[in-house]
Amino acid sequence: MTGGAELHTLTGAYAAHALDGPERAEFERHLALCEACALEVREFAATLARLGAAEAETPPAELRARVMSGIGSVRQLAPPSAVVPVVPQPTGRRRRSRLVRHWPKLALAASVALAAALGGLAVDQSRRADEADARATQLQAQQAVFGSLLTAPDARTATATAGTGVGTVVWSQSRGQAGFLASGMPALPAGKTYELWFDDAGTMRPAGLLPASSGSLLLQGPLDGAVGVGVTVEPAGGSAHPSSTPVMLLPFS
């Protein structure tokens, strides 16, 4: 059985559904009596929900329209035995001979045109599928990293807002790592990006660029005694030092 002191370190693992049956049951009995752990579980659960919301993507609106238009223009072929070419009634031996002679070429040309159209559609669909697979793989990797951070015995979170956006930092001193989740951050003009910084007691150290207004980022570099994380708006590509006032400051406390 898990010791009483160790139960306090399982809040992140419980929120991430990483406890087995007996250990989960034991922790839930503890959770009913420990308000501090209950609060941490709620914070971790909210962080995981923000991670999912930040990485969710809506399929492009034109995708459905393209699929529906394709359905109307690409016909299903009848079984081979049922395909009977319609040949115009001949008016003479010469015309009949010419039609018979050119029919294979006409059929071949139609087949090539149809194959080209379907091939282009297949390539486009394949490209979109590959992009979707890449995004899914990236999302799984991000979730694995953040799940690992959340299940660290000393994992902690802090949350701040910027306009309509919400930012959450997750960190573990024992693992020397931190991650940042953003949801609904204000859209930036072209040529601008959000940059993350470790706050080394007043000195800001670059920690990575946020890929979008909503998303997640494993901060680059170790904690190394940092007291928090800041977010600023910088030129695209980032800056070596902050060039604007932080829009968010999240202390490690």
Mind giving me the DSSP string for 104-121? HHHHHHHHHHHHHHHHHH
pTM listed for this prediction: 0.57
The third-level CATH classification (topology) of the domain covering 1-53 is Arc Repressor Mutant, subunit A (1.10.10)
Q: What is the pLDDT of residues 83-137, one digit of tens each?
A: 545 545 555 555 445 444 545 555 555 555 555 555 555 555 566 666 666 666 6
Name the token pair of 30.
Answer: 């503890």
φ/ψ of 156, rounded to 5, equals -140, 160
Residue 159 reports pLDDT greater than 60:
yes
Q: What is the pLDDT of residues 163-203, one digit of tens each?
A: 888 999 999 999 899 999 888 899 999 999 999 999 998 89
Which of residues 216 and 207 earns the better pLDDT score?
207
Name the token pair of 230.
Answer: 């800041």
Domain map (residue ranges) of the chain: 1-53
The predicted structure's pLDDT at residue 72: 61
Helix axes 35-55, 93-150, angle to 10 degrees: 160
- Mention every residue, 6+ apart, whose C-beta is less than 8 A from residue 99: 87, 88, 90
Cα–Cα distance, 251 to 96 (Å, whole number)? 88
